[in-house]
Amino acid sequence: MNAGNFLNMLEEAGFDFFTGVPCSYFTPFCSLLAQRETSFHVAAVREDIAVGVAAGAYMAGKTPVLYMQNSGLGYSLEAFASLQMIYRIPALVLMSYRGPEDRGWEEHRVMGEHTEDLLNAFNLEYALFRGDISDRRVREIGRYLRDREQPFFLLVTKGALV
């Protein structure tokens, strides 16, 4: 999916704050965020810090999108569990689903094999994003965030955003 079209979908659905740790899967998306004047964007140095930044943005009235590699899930699970989950702070989390498709990058293999297991263990809702998402689905995720007040994860596969 074209990263600009995806970003437009997010903004039209009310998402107005972006934070996270860059990943090559998100290069087109992050490049657009750096050029945009309509949405607020704060790059973070670690995933758990991005969770805190997104929580602060939500408390300030924003609807946050957080982006990270799935390898950052290990760093950020405690932040999700002790901040967003117990205080009911929603965020859309775009997580690059590295591992199975990253042959030759063995550092992604183990986390790639266990990403969904970890999300299930923490009862965190997620869906795969292969570059095929509709306006309707983005609005449904927005309603989920408002109604459930919990994070929702989109596992972004390699090449999903171009």
Number of domains in the chain: 1
> Residue 106 carries which DSSP code?
G
Task: Report yes or no on 30 lying in a domain.
Answer: yes
Work out the angle at residue 87's Cα, subtended by the Cα atoms of residues 11 and 125, and round it to the nearest 5 degrees.
Answer: 60
Contact indicator for 143, 90 with CB cutoff of 8 Å: no
Task: Report yes or no on 140 lying in a domain.
Answer: no
**Beta-sheet strands, E only, within 15-157:** 17-20, 40-43, 64-69, 92-96, 125-129, 152-156
CATH number of the domain encompassing residue 41: 3.40.50.970
Task: Report yes or no on 22 lying in a domain.
Answer: yes
Task: Report yes or no on 121 lying in a domain.
Answer: no
Task: Report yes or no on 1 lying in a domain.
Answer: yes
Domain that holds residue 9: 1-103+151-162
Per-residue pLDDT of the chain (162 residues; tens, 9 = 90+): 999 999 999 999 999 999 999 999 999 999 999 988 767 999 999 999 999 999 999 999 999 999 999 989 988 999 999 999 999 999 999 999 987 666 666 777 778 889 999 999 999 999 999 999 999 999 999 999 999 999 999 999 999 999
Task: Report yes or no on 142 lying in a domain.
Answer: no
Residues counted in the chain: 162
Residue position matching structure tokens 């998306």: 29
Task: Report yes or no on 126 lying in a domain.
Answer: no
pTM of the model: 0.95
